[in-house]
Structure formats: C-alpha cells, structure tokens
Chains A and B, each alone.
Chain A
C-alpha cells in the first residue's frame, strides 16, 4: 500500500513542481531567460520523467492505440466482416425450402453442461446462481479449494453433500457455449433456427452430468421434465414426433430415458410400452459412447485421461504445478471419483467387445495412416519430411494387443499372454491395508505399498479384469456406482433382473423399446487417433496421498505414443464403441432390438481446419463435430422430415463393419 502511495505522490508532484519553477523564472531576463528556461524545464523533466512515468506513458500509449483499434473495429459495418464464409447449411437448406417440422430435443453430454450454485458454504459467498462450471471459470483461480469442494458430490450417496446445492443451468444456454467462444451446441442451434426453429420446438434437456442417471430423476426430476416437455412439444406442434439429438454421454442418458419412460411409476415414468413409438421419430446420436470409452478407465485409475476434459484440460500445465500445494492430481481424483457418471463411461461388454489378452476386434488397425493424419492435423505443410521418416518405423509385425486396457510396462503390453506373469485375483482382493497417512484424500491412501506392487505385478488387465482392479483401488466409488450402473452383457434379456434401472443405460443389457418406426442414427467422426489402451508404471513417489500409478509416457512405438495405444475414432470415442450397436448389435431384428428399429451409421471423416476456419466445418473431433456442416445438414434434413434412406443410408469410412463381425455376441432373438 505504501509503495503505491509513494508512486502516486511521485506522479502528482512531478508536473506541479515543473510549473512552479517555470512561472517563477518568467520575470527575469527575457531573451536569455527563454533559453535557460527551456534548459531548466528539460532538466526538470528529465528528472521527473523517471521509470514510473515511462511506464505510465507506455501504458497510456498502448491503451490509446487499443481503444482506437477497438473503436475502428466497432465502427466496422456489421455485414461486411471481411471474407464471406461459405453459406451455413441452415441458410442453404432454407433456400431449398426446408422448414421446421419435427420438434427437436438436444441432450448434452458430460462436462459440456453448465452448473450453477444455489446454496453453498461461506467461502462461495456472492456466487448465488452464478455458473461454477462452464462460462469463464474465474472462480477456480480465485478460490480453488472452495470450488473443488462445491463441485464434488457426497462420497457415500453420490448426491449433494450437506449444505451445498449445485444445479444444472436450464434452457438452451446450458450447453450452447462451454466457455466464451467455445461452441458446443450453438452452431447447430443457429442452423436449426435458420429453418424456423425456436424456443417452442427446440428443447435442451439439461441435467446434472455428475450424477448417475437415475439420481438426476430422484434429485431434480430431470427425466420427468424431459418426458413432459416431449409430450408438450408433440401436442403443441401438431402431433409431430420429436427428433432427439443426444451427444456423447447424453446418448447413454437417453438410452436410460427410453427404458425409464416405459417402466411403471415408482421406478419409471409410467409412459407405457407404446410411449417411444408415439413420441419419437428418430434418435440422432452424435459421437455416442454406447459401449463406454477406455479413457474413462485411466481417468478413474490415475486421473490421467489425456484430454477427456476433466478438470485438467482447463489448464494442464498450471494445475500440474504447485498452486494447490503439489496435490492437484489427488484433488482432482477425489472430486472425479465422487461423480457417478464417470463410471457410466467405463467400457461395457467386457472381453467380447474390447478384446482379451491376445486379440481384439481392432487387431488389423493400421496406425500408419493414423499417424500421418495425426501429423497433418498439426502442421500440414512443413512436416512432409518427418512423415517420411516416421513411416518405416511403423511396420507392424505383431498385432497390437488392444485388449490389454491397462498393462504395466511396455514389454507386458507386447508379450504373448502365455508369458505374462499373473496374480490370482483372489490374492489381490485379500490384502487389507493399514492407512499410513493422517488425512485420507483418495482411497489410494488406504492401500499400502506392497499391495500396490502386487497390483502392478499382474501386468495386464483386460476389459473384464480392470473392473476388479478398480473395485480394489476405489472400493467406495465402485460400490456406490455399481448400484446404479452395470457393464456386462446379458445372456438372457428376459431375466426379470434386467428390469432394474442399473441396466438401462447399457445397450448390451436392455432391449430397445417397441418402436418399429423409430430410427436410430449413430453419427461420429473418424480419422483421429483415439486412446484405446494404456501402458502404466508404478510411480516412484512414495509420498502420502500421491497417486501410485502413472501412465508411462516414455513408452513409444507404432500405435503406442506416450504410453497410450491409439485406434481410429473421434479422439474420445473409439469407432467400435460408437459404431458397433448400430452396425451389428441393433441391425435388423436382434435380441437387443426386437422390433427391428432401423439403424444408420453416418461417419464423418476428420479434416483439419485451416487457421481462418476456427474449429472447422469438416471436423471429426468429438466436440468440434457439432460444427461439422455435413452433420448439421443431416440433422436438419431429418428434423425437417426426411428418413434415413432419404439422406443416403449408411456412410462409412472406417473398418467398423469388419470389426463388428469379429465381435462374437449372440444376437438371435
């Protein structure tokens, strides 16, 4: 404070002193006086014009220029913003004569939905009804611990901790932009508006994406709200069925809704078996994680998902450093593990889908192409030489063992299964630990070192065994979440146990509703390397409360980059997860799709945008695909009444059909 006062004094006294002197000298000899005066003046100024003044001057200059530029920018006529971009699909289709017909329901995915505070602890004063998730995220920097505390849920119930109420933002604003300038649904909404959509026939089903699906109904009645809004839009728009557009985890949420709405009241919505047939025209899943994503495993296991946009993605570099006192990752893990929804994204279907120790449906995947496009997306022009260099290295002899979702050490990820050291699962589960740390943050604090070594000795975990691994390292989380979610494959769907809501979001353990006219689309990007399995190492750090496992980012080679094996996908969801159900599991009349609802696969090949394009009109990226012109056109056409056949049926670039054929699951009715 005092330094500032001094600074101000300096600035104020400088000019006044100068004035005083100059006026004093005036009556003296005029001719010489003027010259001397000037010298004096300059002298004074030199003295006064110190570092601080220069700073002030510089800032002033910058401010002024900035204002001038800003002013010019604002004066710029609005409708002549330089280059005219290509016509957005909405405008083009409007000129073709398309108009709004079917009401549209948008279901956002994980992370992208905004959350606001309704009740909090004293540290969150003044944030009532302000966004604490989505928007500008300034509160993270201001009060990080307080923020984390409000975002986490209760560890036992998976609901609000006492005294804290954080609720989803309702309406279209919930997920149109995630952060300022980072669109999610905004482009799609604008294009829909071009052909005549507005608030009355477009509904954003915002829900709290941290909760397990059934809990959104128990706490917020989100499912009831969705049901009643669909019924309302159906009734007020001339009995037109709705087109549902879920994205990412919203896909699983809507699967859950489909079963919920037909189930009788105490557990379900009581719509009866014909509800979906009556109200839903088609479901257009964007970037669906039907069968889960491997990324969720690493997130659960070590909070290290490379870019699944949990908290790290906000500013990884910053968070890894010390602002929270070296415990950032641990804090994150603690928060993430209270979110049941993360568990809903764990790979489903076990080894038949995701592969066993030695084989996986993606076995024939060639990474060469991937790497090339991977490089292209970053630096297209000047990287030709590097591409040539890398190409010979990636000659695959042995198929990559994608089935081993987690393996310890690069060698373990490549060896044949017979050579792998295995530890009997029983032995793993036995070890009980004595907590050594006073304050337990993550459940790792309860596991002692030797047991951790034992876990690592098992070398490789597949889609079946990693669940046991997680049950061991995060017993509370898994116990809580598995009451709400299931990850298996049903052998007999008529078993009455499948009436329980925990199976509803798993497409392999439920039947689609009785709705022969309903269409199911799966629309996703391809051509981006997507995380599929991980090479881990035991973290050297022995500190209390640190996470004992790390992705071994030194492991490289072929599809393995930075400790992660990649396959084709949209950067978050591998093709097999997004495409399998529509390519095979539900195609025709199967036991998962008894009424034979039509399914369509629409793939969009990723094309990296040029700099001016922003996030691109042909992106295949998990979120950026929402701005993909071809995808938007498809959605618009269907919303305006077209059927799947009319927009061209399947559109496939990847090997999804081949891969699906390798998956051995009983599909007969």
Chain B
C-alpha cells in the first residue's frame, strides 16, 4: 500500500485497523514502558503517599511482578503474584475500604486520593496495576504490544489473575465498616449477578449473601455526598439544583450538558464486618 495520496493520520488509522483486525486477543496490548511506569509508581508511593519506615525495595517488587511476563498468556494464575503481593502489601486503615463495580472513575473522584476512602487502586499493589495491561506473546518470549487476552479469551490471563489476587489481598486486609459502591443505572444490574434500589432485585441478592456469611449490613439509596459528586457533571439537571442562597443560579453555566442524562438512585451498601 503506497502512502502517496493518504494523509499521515489516515494512514495511521488504516494501519491501526489492520493491526486490530489481525490481533490475536480481544483486550488492549501491553502498555509501553511498563517497567518504568511500575517502578515510578512504586517510587512515588514510597516517597510521597505512604512511606514504609523499613523502606520498600521497588526493584524487588518489579522483579517479583516480572515473573508473569515470561508465562504463556493463558496460563497465569492468581498465585503467580504471591511474591509480588508479599513485597508490596501494607495495612489498610480501619473503615476505609471501598469496594466497587462499574464506576471506576467515580470511585477515584469520591475517594479523594485516599483521604475519604482507600479503594484498591489507592493501595500500593492496586496502584501499580491501575489502567495498565500486560501479557507475553503467545508463541514468543517477548511482550505482546498488540493485544492481550481478556476473560472471554481465556480465564487465566495475566491481568485478570492480577486483579483477582490483588482483590483477595485487599479484602483480607480490610476491617471495620466496609463500603461498596454500586452503579444503579447499569443495565445488567447493580450487583453483578444481574436491583436498582436497596432491598430490591440484585441488591437483595447481595444483602442475602452477606446475611448468610454472618455480616451485619445496611444500605443507603442515593447517599448524599455521592449524589452531589454525580451532580458536578450534570449541574443543570433539575435533580441537581441546590437550594441555597450562596449557590448562584442566574448565570447560565458555561458547560451545559447536552441531553442531561437522568440521575438514577445511587446505591451505597454499608456492610459492617463482624470479625476483627
């Protein structure tokens, strides 16, 4: 294919499409410069976020992570990350755990960088993997930058196994009051089995499971601070108008939402852990 007559961006798009069409797996390829990003994140965590008085060895943490990069892309088990977790784990303050489903960005905003809550992506081992993708090539020893397997391709892929192992650790280290943020407007159901409000539908399934496990729980619809946060993006929606003299309503907002979506009841289930 000659490049003459094609603008550079069009050529690039065609190449990307061609590349994607030939991709082995359904998921995004390995993030470029994976090692530098991981080392940088570890260093940043240690220097700025939560320094370990004993000192963390980020090189050792990277070496422990690296072991999965030589494995067949569909043969990576959660236990392959055991050493990595061992080196990067740290305690989680009581009552700060926040589990979530289908609302990654909202959770990040609401957690306020670990001030309000410490979700998995704010814990060292979670932060290391956040938004990254990685896998070895199927028939060669190098990393696959084109695509990586998702759960639809195979269960034991590097990324899914990572999050399974990390989530297990996170759950084990959680104590006190555990919070869960679910997306009530997710068509397949807030609790991923398939309810939109407390005591209904899929949320009822969660509540019953927790009851069986011996946990106390309570559920709040439309938890105010979270509703306020959602409203930041939809400030012109009728449900989001504040009733206060201090807020100005007369000046037309600069960022009017086009076709403001409906604010649906937002669920926060608070489950009180009996152990610890």
Q: Do A and B come from one complex?
A: no
